[in-house]
């Protein structure tokens, strides 16, 4: 989704910093990019184009542009096609105001009509352009940038984060956020506004997370924050946060792609996930135990991690527990009340549907919101009563890998506390088991070579392993663009068998333990119809054409070990098919619009 990076400096040229920030935000997914720089003579230069950030630089030499204040943007098209005109920054009629925006201005049609009636001329099809014109109007009327941003913000409906640059204010940025992220970075000489701390982390690790519905005025020396009514918030409410993510973890090291690097980080990240403050885990467990019912909500891979948690909560803790996709949350509303604990799970903490689910639950007076999030300081963390962090460092690859396994382990840790069971064991031992699961890499590469031309892939499993089948299918779809489905093995006869043809690859997750024999029978049924079975199991079986050996473990750790080869399979299928695994098509890392 769209990424914003803006910088204002007392002495530095900011163009190279903006360019670097744009590159750091590439993982969010985008189709065009642009910058606006304010030079010393008070004119705003805009360079924008369709394509990658490196193409923007190659075509327009952005890094050489002069200016100590600027805004930049990666665009993910929502309103209006992918074109240069629709790329950001968007500029006001008089060229005095330039803005970048992330989100959707839901009432832009009405606003645009009203502005056109006043003589404003629009050049793009975007909803965002209305912001430039609204701010221009406000600035003409009020003569004050913050008042202009406030006026615009108060007219807009929807969700947004925007940053404006004013041609006659050389050392000033004004930003606003409403249900979309915007973070301040406080460098020594240069200050930043960005969608994500990663965008400025190379320059400073000091961040100030804005609250929702706030407007910010930023200069190289000062930071002022206002609510939407224009009341200035006390600086005491603005705590500076030291962002603990190591910059080193932002490089690809020796790996060809971030995705592969992040898959390989998992022996360490599962251990980091378990390094939680025991008191906080106890507090979270207490919240769960006290609740009359637990509702888990998430999207994508986080949803699969939530499914695993639900199984344990229901079967072991005997809790009334539902898992609801955040985008479908409305249907759960009748059952939410003060006796419910909402557990929201999200790598980014910025997924619009998850945040909306929290909002809806709050309106229904939910008893509490507990979240499991990777990005400290994200909107979800701020909207929760308590958060447990995943501690797995920045996940740059668009497909969730290490954040999924971290979620599973943090969930396990918490549920162990609820049930009094010690299922997680020694973190170092867990790290070693994940190392062993990674030994499947050469085989997964070979399987990818063999099957990369197949049009369909199926993944089946039972019980606590079924979410792993779903996750394996999701990874494969996302990275290889091959049709894939994760099915409960028990449902095989209700549709899936009809789809099996000679040579159809089917991944069968069949670890030792309950359900093994039934799952093997299902594999036999598949093989009898021509399927080629890839068994994810502790031991070979004659029905498996290929056995991907995973180490033995107790049931709660097993999903982590089972999913690692499936992540590798998806990765190698992508590279076999010449797809870019770090930037899969039509996918965004942070789904910040509904």
405 binds ligand F6R, rule: CB under 6 A: no
Binding mask 500-519 for ligand F6R (x = CB under 6 A): --------------------
One of 50, 135, 194, 400 touching ligand F6R (CB under 6 A): 400
Contacts of 358 (CB under 8 A, 6+ apart): 297, 342, 344, 369, 380, 383, 384
Minimum distance between the CB of residue 589 and ligand F6R, rounded to whole angstroms?
7
Verify binding: residue 300, ligand F6R, rule CB under 6 A: yes
By C-beta, is 526 or 591 nearer to ligand F6R? 591
Q: How far is CA 222 from CA 231, 236, 325, 545, in A?
A: 17, 14, 41, 65
Q: CB neighbours of 51 closer than 8 A, spacing ≥ 6?
A: 31, 32, 33
Shortest distance, position 357 Cβ to ligand F6R, whole Å: 11
How many chain residues bind ligand F6R (CB under 6 A)? Answer: 15
Active-site hit among 2, 23, 261, 321: 2
By beta carbon distance, the residue nearest ligand F6R is: 300
DSSP code per residue over 390-423: -------SSS-SHHHHHHHHHHHHHHHHHHT---
Measuring CA to CA, which residue among 112, 118, 176, 136 is closest to residue 44? 136
Stretch 575-594: interaction string toward ligand F6R, x if CB under 6 A: ----------------x---
- What token pair was written down for 21? 């920030």
Three-class SS of residue 490?
Answer: helix
Q: Using CA atoms, how far apart are residues 482 and 60, in angstroms rounded to an integer? A: 36
d(Cα 5, Cα 163) in Å, to the nearest integer? 9
Residue 132 Cβ vs ligand F6R, minimum distance, rounded to whole Å: 29
Q: Write the binding mask 532 to 571 for ligand F6R: x where contact by CB under 6 A, - elsewhere.
A: ----------------------------------------
Nearer of residues 354 and 520 to ligand F6R, judged by Cβ: 354
Query: Within its chain, how far is the Cα of 262 from the centroid?
Result: 14
DSSP state, residue 13: -
For 509, phi then psi, to 5°, come to -85, 110
User: Nearer Cβ to ligand F6R, position 347 or 387?
Assistant: 347
Torsion from C-alpha of 248, 253, 257, 263, nearest 10 degrees? -80
SS3 string, 497-526, reads HHHCCCCCEEEEECCCCCCHHHHHHHHHHH
Interface with ligand F6R (CB under 6 A), residue from 92, 249, 301, 391: 301
Options 261, 310, 475, 589, the catalytic residue: 589
Give the CB-side neighbour count of residue 554, counting CA atoms within 13 A: 12
Report in angstroms how near the CB of residue 270 gets to ligand F6R at its nearest: 17
State the binding string over 464-503 for ligand F6R (x if CB under 6 A, else -).
Answer: ----------x---x-------------------------
Sign of CA dihedral 202, 203, 207, 208: negative
Residues 232-271 binding ligand F6R (CB under 6 A) are none
Report, in Å, the least distance between residue 343 CB and ligand F6R.
13
CB 351 within 8 A of CB 379: no
Site for ligand F6R contains 195 (CB under 6 A): no
With contacts defined by CB under 6 A, name the span among 175-183, 394-402, 413-421, 440-448 that binds ligand F6R: 394-402
Residue 392 appears among annotated catalytic residues: no
SS3 of residue 35 by DSSP: strand
Residue 570 to residue 576: CA distance in whole angstroms: 10
Q: Least CB distance from residue 507 to ligand F6R, whole Å?
A: 17
Which residue in the set 156, 176, 352, 354 belongs to the binding site for ligand F6R (CB under 6 A)? 354
108 or 404: CB nearest ligand F6R: 404
Contacts of 425 (CB under 8 A, 6+ apart): 554, 557
Piece of the chain touching ligand F6R by CB under 6 A; list 21-29, 393-401, 440-448, 553-561: 393-401
Note whether 299 binds ligand F6R by CB under 6 A.
yes
**Residues between 321 and 350 with contacts to ligand F6R, criterion CB under 6 A:** 346-348
Report in angstroms how near the CB of residue 592 gets to ligand F6R at its nearest: 10
Question: DSSP E strands: which ranges in 259-334?
Answer: 293-298, 321-325
Distances (CA, A) of 572 to 68, 261, 505: 43, 13, 15
Using the minimum distance from each CB to ligand F6R, give the nearer residue, 448 or 566. 566
Q: Does 351 help bind ligand F6R (rule: CB under 6 A)?
A: yes
Asked if 321 is an active-site residue, the reply is no
Laid out side by side, the sheet with 340-346 consists of: 321-325, 293-298, 340-346, 368-373, 386-389
Compare residues 470 and 519 and give the one whose CB is closer to ligand F6R: 470
Give the Cα-Cα-Cα angle 240, 242, 245 (nearest 5 degrees): 145
Interface with ligand F6R by CB under 6 A: which residues? Answer: 299-302, 346-348, 351, 354, 398-400, 474, 478, 591
Catalytic residue positions?
2, 589
């Amino acid at each position: 989704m769209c990424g914003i990076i803006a910088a204002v400096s007392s002495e530095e040229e900011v163009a190279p910093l903006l360019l670097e920030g744009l590159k750091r935000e590439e993982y969010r997914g985008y189709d065009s990019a642009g910058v606006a720089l304010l030079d010393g003579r008070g004119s705003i230069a805009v360079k924008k184009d369709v394509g990658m950030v490196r193409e923007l630089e190659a075509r327009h030499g952005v890094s050489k542009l002069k200016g100590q204040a600027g805004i930049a943007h990666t665009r993910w098209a929502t309103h209006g096609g992918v074109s240069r005109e629709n790329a950001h920054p968007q500029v006001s009629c008089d060229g005095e105001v330039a803005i970048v925006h992330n989100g959707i201005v839901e009432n832009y049609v009405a606003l645009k009509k009203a502005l056109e009636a006043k003589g404003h001329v629009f050049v793009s099809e975007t909803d965002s352009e209305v912001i430039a014109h609204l701010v221009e109007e406000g600035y003409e009327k009020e003569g004050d940038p913050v008042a202009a941003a406030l006026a615009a913000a108060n007219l807009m409906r929807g969700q947004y984060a925007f940053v404006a640059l004013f041609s006659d204010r050389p050392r000033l940025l004004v930003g606003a956020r409403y249900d979309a992220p915007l973070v301040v970075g406080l460098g020594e000489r240069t200050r930043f506004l960005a969608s994500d701390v990663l965008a400025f982390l190379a320059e400073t690790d000091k961040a100030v997370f804005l609250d929702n519905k706030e407007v910010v005025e930023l200069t190289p020396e000062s930071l002022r924050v206002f609510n939407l009514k224009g009341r200035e918030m006390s600086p005491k409410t603005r705590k500076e946060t030291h962002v603990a993510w190591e910059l080193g973890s932002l490089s690809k090291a020796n790996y060809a792609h971030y995705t592969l690097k992040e898959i390989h980080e998992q022996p360490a990240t599962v251990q980091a996930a378990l390094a939680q403050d025991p008191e906080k885990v106890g507090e979270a467990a207490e919240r769960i135990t006290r609740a009359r019912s637990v509702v888990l909500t998430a999207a994508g891979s986080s949803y699969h991690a939530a499914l695993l948690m639900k199984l344990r909560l229901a079967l072991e803790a005997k809790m009334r527990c539902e898992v609801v996709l955040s985008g479908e949350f409305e249907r759960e509303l009748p059952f939410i009340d003060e006796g419910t604990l909402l557990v929201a799970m999200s790598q980014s903490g910025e997924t619009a549907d998850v945040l909306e689910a929290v909002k809806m639950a709050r309106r229904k007076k939910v008893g509490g919101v507990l979240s499991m999030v990777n990005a400290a300081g994200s909107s979800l963390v701020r909207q929760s009563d308590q958060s447990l962090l995943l501690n797995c460092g920045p996940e740059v690859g668009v497909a969730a890998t290490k954040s999924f396994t971290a979620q599973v382990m943090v969930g396990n840790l918490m549920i162990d506390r609820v049930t009094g069971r010690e299922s997680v064991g020694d973190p170092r031992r867990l790290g070693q088991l994940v190392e062993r699961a990674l030994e499947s890499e050469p085989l997964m590469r070979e399987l990818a070579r063999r099957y990369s031309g197949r049009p369909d892939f199926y993944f089946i499993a039972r019980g606590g392993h079924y979410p792993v089948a779903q996750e394996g299918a999701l990874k494969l779809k996302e990275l290889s663009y091959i049709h894939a489905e994760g099915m409960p093995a028990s449902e095989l006869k209700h549709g899936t068998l009809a789809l099996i043809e000679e040579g159809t690859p089917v991944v069968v997750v069949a670890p030792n333990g309950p359900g093994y024999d039934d799952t093997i029978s299902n594999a036999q049924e598949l093989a009898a119809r021509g399927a080629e079975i890839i068994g994810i199991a502790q031991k070979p079986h004659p029905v498996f054409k290929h056995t991907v050996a995973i180490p033995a473990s107790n049931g709660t750790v097993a999903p982590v070990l089972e999913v690692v080869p499936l992540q590798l399979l998806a990765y190698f299928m992508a590279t076999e098919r010449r797809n870019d695994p770090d930037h899969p098509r039509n996918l965004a890392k942070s789904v910040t619009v509904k």
